[in-house]
Structure 1
Amino acid sequence: MIFRIWPEFLNTLQAGVQRRILPELWDWVFLPVLEAPSWVVPAVLGAVLLAGLARRRG
Structure 2
Amino acid sequence: MAVAARLSARRVATLSEPGLYADGDGLYLKIGAFGVGRWIFRYRLGGRRRDMGRGR
Tell me the TM-score normalised to structure 1 length. 0.29
Greater strand share, 1 or 2? 2
Higher relative contact order (CA 8 A, sep 6+): 2
The structure with the greater share of residues assigned to helix is 1
- Structure of greater Rg: 1
TM-score between both structures, scaled by the size of structure 2: 0.29
